[in-house]
Structure 1
Amino acid sequence: MEASGYLLSGVLTGLFLLGTVLVLARNRNWQHYSPAGDASGVGETVERLAGSPGTWIGGFVLLTLGLGLGTLVVVGGLPVPEGVQGAATVAMAVVVLAVLAGYVFLGVYHSVRYRGLYRSQAAAAGIWIVATLAVAGIAVMLLTAG
C-alpha cells in the first residue's frame, strides 16, 4: 500500500509540473536582457580556447587516460587499498555520467539553435532535459530500491 502512495505522489507531482510548464509556455510577455559586453576579456580567451582543436584533443587524451587508469584501479590491476577502489568507482561513474549529460545537453542545444531560437532558450532547454533525466534516474532508483 505504501508503494502505491509513492506512485500516486509521483504522478500528482508530474501533473503539477506539466501544468506549470504549460502555463509558463503560454505566457509570452517575457522581458529581454541585453548584456553590456565583457570588459575583462576572459570570455574572448575562453572562446579562443574552446575553438582550438588542440584543447579538445588534449581534453580527450586526459579523459581517456584518466578513465583507463581508473579502470585499472577498479578491476584490481594496481595494488591500491580497497577504499581507493571504491573512490575510483564513484569517480569513474561521475565522469561517465558528466560526459553523457554533456552530450545530451549539447545535442539538445544544437537542435534548438538549429530551429532558430536564441542561445538562452537553447541553454534552458538543454538544462531542462538533463535535469529531467536526472530526476527520472533518481525516481527509478528510489522505486526499485526496496
Structure 2
Amino acid sequence: MAPLTYIASTLVTGLIVVGLVAALARSREWRSAAATPGAVRTGGTSAVTTLTETARSPLGWTVAFLALVLVIGGGTIAFMTGAIPTAVGQALGVALVLVAATVMGGYLFWGVYHSARYRGIGSAQATGTGLWVLGMVLIVAIVVRLAMA
C-alpha cells in the first residue's frame, strides 16, 4: 500500500482543487443578469433544457472533467493497491483502459475536427478527417503491438 503521506497529499490537493473550482464558480455570479422587475417566470424547466444549459456552461464542463478525473484516479488507485478482488480488478483494469482510450480519442477527434472547421472545411469533411486521424492512430498502435510481440 502507498505510504500514508502520499494518500494524505492526494486528498489535500484534491480538496484544494475542488475549493478553487467552487470559489471561481461563485465569483462568476456577478456577471449574471438581474431579473427584470415584472417579468413573468414560467414553471420548471425540462430535463433536456437543463442538460443543454449545463453542456453549454463552463462550470458544467469543469464539474464533468473533475468527476472524470476523480473516477479514473480512484479506479487507478483501487486497481494498483489491490483493494478489490482479482476478478473485479481485471474488469476494472479493462474499464480504465477503455475510458482513458475514449477520452484521448475524443480529445484527438475534437481537436482535429475544430482545426479543420477553423480552416474553412465543411462539417462532413472535418468529421471524415477526424475519423481518418483516429484510424491512423489505431493502425500505428496495432503495428507497434505486433512489432513488440
TM bin, normalised by shorter chain, reads 0.5 to 0.7
2:107 equivalent in structure 1: 103
Deviations 1:13-62 (A, max 9, x none): xxxxxxxxxxxxxxxxxxxxxxxxxxxxxx98875443222321221122
Deviations 1:94-142 (A, max 9, x none): 1111111111111111111111111111111011101111122112212
**Residues in 2 aligned to 1:44 and 1:117: alpha-carbon distance in whole angstroms:** 30
Pair 1:55-2:60 in alignment: yes
Stretches of 4+ moved more than 6 A in 1?
43-46
TM-score, normalized by length of structure 2?
0.60
Change (3 A) 1:46 1:134: farther
**Residues in 2 aligned to 1:122 and 1:50: alpha-carbon distance in whole angstroms:** 22
Pair 1:143-2:130 in alignment: no
C-alpha deviation, 1:88, in angstroms? 1.6
In structure 1, stretches of 5+ residues that fail to align are 1-42
**Residues in 2 aligned to 1:90 and 1:62: alpha-carbon distance in whole angstroms:** 19
Pair 1:115-2:108 in alignment: no
**Residues in 2 aligned to 1:55 and 1:119: alpha-carbon distance in whole angstroms:** 25
1:75 equivalent in structure 2: 80
Change (3 A) 1:144 1:98: same
Q: Return the structure number with greater relative CO, CA threshold 8 A, min gap 6.
A: 2
Alignment RMSD (CA, Å): 2.4
**Residues in 1 aligned to 2:125 and 2:51: alpha-carbon distance in whole angstroms:** 21
> Matched residues, percent identical?
38
TM-score, normalized by length of structure 1?
0.61
